[in-house]
Structure 1
């Protein structure tokens, strides 16, 4: 059966055209669980959307892994400064220092300033798997 599937994929025009889009090597998925409320946060950016009020095109979202509580803010641009400001004001000041933050590999999250800030708090930063962004909250 496996050989039949391989033969079909080799002959399938659509499979050949779109099959190589996923070039990232597979990684083992790891289960993420939060030990208590507001200990683990998943953060991501949605957009771009059509421009809204105040020229906002993006949405930063933070989701607590335990309670599924959501904090969100519209943004006009997605710089590491804006991400850090959102994190300080909407997560840190309201819920305390988290044990971990899970993000994708976006430049605003891999920025040295953001990573150093989390390290100074003692908060670990975890990155989602390239092939499985659903991991992020």
Structure 2
């Protein structure tokens, strides 16, 4: 029965003309550029939520260096932009320097006005 319905829809010209694709086409994947030195290119993402700790932290900000594969993990109470920016500065940029580029999943905690202002201020690409 299901197969006959599928065949009918596929052979029906008006059905094909008015059948609007409801799925988003996959985006184009670009290769990740290679780096020649440590801490030039980093990736950032959040893990969580986890069970809250005694300090009310329930998320982990993970920063990965693409050259050395060094990972820096920071426990945070939430994953907002107001929490992400100082954590990135205090736990990564102050220790290892400003990267040339930061890769992320383009989440709202990484792609917002605050993070764009910081990127312009200290000079990294996001």
TM-score, normalisation: structure 1: 0.71
* Structure 2: 5+ residue stretches without partners: 7-21
Question: How much does 1:34 deviate?
Answer: 2.2
Partner of 1:82: 83
Which deviations, in whole Å up to 9, do the C-alpha atoms of 1:51-97 show, x marking residues without a partner?
Answer: 22212111111000000111111111111121111111111111111
| Residues 1-137 of structure 1 mapped to structure 2, 5 A cutoff | 23-32=23-32, 33-125=34-126
- In 2, Cα distance between equivalents of 1:51 and 1:95: 29
Secondary structure of 1:124's aligned partner: coil
Greater radius of gyration (CA): 2
- In 1, Cα distance between equivalents of 2:105 and 2:86: 18
Question: How much does 1:26 deviate?
Answer: 1.3
Secondary structure of 1:60's aligned partner: strand
- In 1, Cα distance between equivalents of 2:38 and 2:55: 33
TM-score, normalisation: structure 2: 0.76
Partner of 2:17: none
**Structure with the larger helix share:** 1
The CA RMSD measured in Å over matched residues stands at 2.0
- In 2, Cα distance between equivalents of 1:24 and 1:114: 27
Between the two structures, name the one with larger relative contact order (CA 8 Å, sep ≥ 6).
Answer: 1
- In 2, Cα distance between equivalents of 1:34 and 1:26: 27
* Structure 1: 5+ residue stretches without partners: 1-6, 11-21, 126-137
Question: How much does 1:105 deviate?
Answer: 1.9
Instruction: Show structure 1 runs of 4+ deviating over 6 A.
Output: none
- In 1, Cα distance between equivalents of 2:104 and 2:115: 11
Question: How much does 1:115 deviate?
Answer: 1.2
Secondary structure of 1:87's aligned partner: helix
